Structure 1
């Protein structure tokens, strides 16, 4: 995956860098003298993905890059179990999906590190698939809802050492492309990919979304974007419940 920074949408790039394992796009841009204003596009398929972001020069003095920030460690792992973990970078795409019934939420299953927590529909980008195709496919598999992508919204990363659903210890770098989407014809959500990482799905009235136990990354995205999106799409009043 590559990160391309432009000052003006459609303008020449001011930097192009690979997103190496463990790197965060915001820190990468900052150390090059820029802050990310907003993501503009996610083009390409699979691992051959280019994320173009609008940036502005921050004018701050940038200290030399120090040691990589310590990765989070699964508290259930002992030092003996860690050994030499498999290094894995996973590109994934998710969406904040709104409809007249509220916010679309998915519950993590026992196969994940955060069972019974709630998140956003989405998942890993398959070979030959672009991020928006991933979100549309995953929404059907996880919730049986047909959604329409509105805009590229955010990029989020996490980096930790832990066990995969198959039990393998991984040095895991999660890179998440986040979209805003709507569902014109919402129905009762049904998990079609039974036995996977999604236990259940539901529409959550917007005034009640904070009552669920959200995974940390999903909660951060909702706190940052949900109020603005609800107002933009005009769903606030209709989704009250």
Structure 2
């Protein structure tokens, strides 16, 4: 995967760098002298995936931070378990989906490290898919909803060591491409991909979103973007009364 920074949309690149394992794009841009203003596009498939971001020079002293700190998601891992983990970078796409029914949410199953927490519909990008195709497919599999992409919203990464759903110890770098999306004809959500990482799905009323037990990364995204995109897409919060 490659990150390209441009000063203005459609302009020439000021940097182009591969996103190495464990590296966060915001930190990568910062160490090159820029801050990411907003993501512009995500194109290509597989290893040829390119994310273009608009940046501005920050003009501050820079110290190299290297890769993200790797946290542990499994307290039962021994020192022997983490000596030679499988190194894996996973590219995935998710969507913050709004409709007249609220915000679309998916519950993590017991096959994940955060069972019973809630997140956004989405998942890994399959070979031959671009990110928008992947998130549309995942929304159908995980919730039964047909969504329409509005725009690219954010790029989020995480870095940890833990066991995969198959029991393999992994040094895992999650790269998440986040879209804003709508569901013009919402229905009662149903999980079609039974037995996977999604236990259930539901629509969360916008005025009650903060009462849901979200996974940490999802809550950070909602805190940052939900109010803005709900206004942009015409789904303003209604009061509980």
Is the pair's TM-score, using the shorter chain for normalization, greater than 0.5?
Answer: yes
Alignment correspondent of 1:116:
116
8 Å CA contact 1:157–1:175 kept in 2: the answer is yes
Tell me the residue number matched to 2:140.
140
Any idea what the Cα deviations from partners look like across 1:41-87, whole Å, max 9, x if unmatched? 00101221000000000011112x25645310122312122220000
1:167-218: CA deviation from partner (whole Å, max 9, x where unpaired): 0000000000000000000000000000000000000000111111100000
> Deviation at 1:237?
4.8
TM-score (norm 1): 0.96
Go from structure 1 to structure 2 and tell me whether the alpha carbon gap of 1:177 and 1:80 turns closer, same or farther (over 3 Å shift).
Answer: same
Q: Does structure 1 conserve the Cα–Cα contact (< 8 Å) formed by 2:22 and 2:68?
A: no
Which residue does 1:173 correspond to in 2?
173
Aligned pairs for 1:142-161 (under 5 A) are 142-161=142-161
Aligned to 2:23: 23
**Residue number in structure 2 paired with 1:72:** 71
CA contact (8 A) 1:102 1:240 kept: no
| 8 Å CA contact 2:24, 2:68 repeated in 1 | no
Pair 1:225–1:90, CA change in 2 (3 A): same
Contact 1:101 1:238 in 2 (8 A): no
1:140-177 CA-to-partner distances (Å, cap 9, x unmatched) read 00000000000000000000110000000000000000
SS of the counterpart of 1:82?
Answer: coil
SS of residue matched to 1:77: coil
Task: Provide the TM-score with structure 2 as the length reference.
Answer: 0.96
| Cα offset, 1:98, TM superposition | 0.1
Q: 1:174-213 alignment to 2 at 5 Å? A: 174-213=174-213
For 1:29, what is the secondary structure of its paired residue?
helix
Give distance in 1, aligned partners of 2:97 and 2:68. 32
Q: After superposition, give the CA deviation of every residue in 1:87-143 in whole Å (9 maximum; x if it has no partner).
A: 000000000000000000000001100000000000000000000000100000000
- What SS does structure 1 have at the residue aligned with 2:184? coil
Residue in 1 aligned with 2:49? Answer: 49
What is the distance in 1 between the residues matched to 2:211 and 2:221? 15
Root mean square deviation, CA, Å? 1.4
**Which residue of 2 is the match for residue 103 of structure 1?**
103
Q: How far, CA to CA, are the matches of 1:193 and 1:47 in structure 2?
A: 26
Unaligned runs of 5+ in 1: none
Which consecutive residues of structure 2, in runs of 5 or more, have no partner in the other structure? none
| Paired residues of 1:206 and 1:240 also in contact (CA < 8 A) | no
